[in-house]
C-alpha cells in the first residue's frame, strides 16, 4: 500500500469523524438557540461540517486516483 493511499484513507476517516462531530454538535442546546435566532449554526459547528466534508471529499478523490498512472 503506497503512501498516497494511506493518506487518502486517513483523510477520509478524519473527515467522516469531523462531520459526525459537527452533526452531533448541531443538535446541542447552544446550536439550537443560535439556529432559532440567527438561522445559522455556530461557527464551530460550521467548521466541523465544512472541514469534515472537505477532508472526506479529498480522501475519496485521492483514493479514486491513487492507482492511476502506475500502469499507464
pLDDT digits over 2-55, tens only?
Answer: 889 999 999 999 999 999 999 998 888 888 888 888 888 888 889 999 999 999
DSSP per position, 16-27 = HHHHHHHHHHTT
pLDDT band at 70 (very low <50, low <70, confident <90, very high): low
What pTM was estimated for this model as a whole? 0.80
Q: CA quadruple 29, 30, 36, 39: dihedral positive or negative?
A: negative
Task: Quote the cell numbers at residue 59.
Answer: 480522501
pLDDT at 72 over 80: no
Q: For residue 41, what is the DSSP state?
A: -
Amino acid at each position: 500500500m503506497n503512501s498516497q493511499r494511506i493518506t487518502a484513507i486517513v483523510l477520509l476517516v478524519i473527515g467522516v469523524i469531523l462531520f459526525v462531530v459537527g452533526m452531533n454538535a448541531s443538535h446541542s442546546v447552544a446550536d439550537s438557540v443560535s439556529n432559532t435566532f440567527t438561522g445559522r449554526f455556530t461557527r464551530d459547528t460550521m467548521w466541523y461540517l465544512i472541514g469534515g466534508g472537505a477532508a472526506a471529499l479529498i480522501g475519496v478523490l485521492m483514493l479514486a486516483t491513487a492507482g492511476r498512472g502506475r500502469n499507464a
